[in-house]
Structure 1
Amino acid sequence: MSVELPFAPVDTIIRRNAGDLRVSADAAEELARRIQRHGAELAVDAAKRASADGRKTLMSDDFGVEQVVDKADLELPVAPVDRIARLDITDDYRVAMDARIALADILEDYADNVAKAAAILAHHADRRTVKAEDIETYFELFG
């Protein structure tokens, strides 16, 4: 599975949570993979909700979001998030812009939580760099 999400914004999210720690390229890549997998799963659930309502367009409500943030406030770009949303749903679904932004916001919060924990794990390992193994360990512990 190729990763749709560019690594640079994911790296930025890790850095804003890592304090004075460095961030390995592998950590950003691993977190981008995890974000993508999570986003695709959320989109499948959203598609089920839309189908139950007789719609083929995913809306922000389908992701459990009532108020959508401003796109400019997000680090994650919306276009790749749109592609992530479509990974595991059929082509006959559309993803409304507010749904793309809502999903990007959800995924950014998800990434922030993982990055905070990965930084703690790196500190605990007495390292100065957040590595992919910190991301992997987070998911082993908290899945």
Structure 2
Amino acid sequence: MAYQGRRTAIPKCVVAVGVARPGTENVKGRTRTFHGMSVELPFAPVDTVIRREAGDLRVSADAAEELARRIQRRGADLAREAAEHATDAGRKTLMVDDFGFDATDTPTRGDLTLPVAPVDRIARLDIPDEYRVSADARVALAAHLEAFADDAAEGAATLARHAGRRTVQAEDVETYFELVE
């Protein structure tokens, strides 16, 4: 017999307090638009990348979260394109060449700030389950995404300094991408 649970009504006052509307998320008491995806990449390594580029500036948690979302979107897009290349070659395993990266330029796993396991999950977000990502391709993708994050972090830090702030904020990351896209 399957567990059916107990149906209890939740008082409206409980639902209304601190719960974000669908399509939004509650961040530090503010409601922001939610971009429709959970973030696979931990924020700590992304924060480290921003701090490396920001120098003496502080980094807000929102900035690390925003950059993590952008990294995830970029990685999923690259993997989708790589899956098309692998399919054209008659393979179900994504290789370094499918991403368009040079295999000889790939750093070692230990030289990277971004962890490889979440990058593997990011790569498989938008591709069918029967596809796999080779170990070398994961490391190459992580290196590419870290370079992408370095560029964005440098731009966001420059924007924060230009605005006269001592903290890199999510709006700096957003503005950077608005300027370069």
**TM band (smaller chain):** over 0.9
Higher RCO (CA 8 Å, separation ≥ 6 residues): 1
- CA positional deviation for 1:55: 0.5
User: Per-residue deviation at 1:139?
Assistant: 1.1
1:101 Cα deviation from its structure 2 partner: 0.3
Match of 1:74 in 2: 112
Q: CA deviation at 1:65?
A: 1.8
> Which has a greater percent of helix?
1
Larger Rg: 2
Partner of 2:153: 115
Q: What stretches of structure 1 move > 2 A for 4+ residues in a row?
A: none
In the alignment, residue 51 of structure 1 is paired with which amino acid?
Answer: T
Q: CA deviation at 1:98?
A: 0.4
Given the alignment of the two structures, is residue 90 of structure 1 paired with residue 134 of structure 2, yes or no?
no
Aligned length: 143
TM-score (norm 1): 0.98
Identity %, equivalent residues: 71
Pick one of 53, 63, 73 that aligns with 1:27. Answer: 63
- In the TM superposition, what whole-angstrom CA distance separates every residue of 1:43-99 from its partner, at most 9, and x where no partner exists? 001001111111100011111222221000000000000000000000010000001
Distance 1:26 1:96 in 2: 32
**What are the within-5 Å matches in structure 2 for residues 1-143 of structure 1?**
1-66=37-102, 67=104, 68-143=106-181
Distance 2:108 2:38 in 1: 28
Root mean square deviation, CA, Å: 0.6
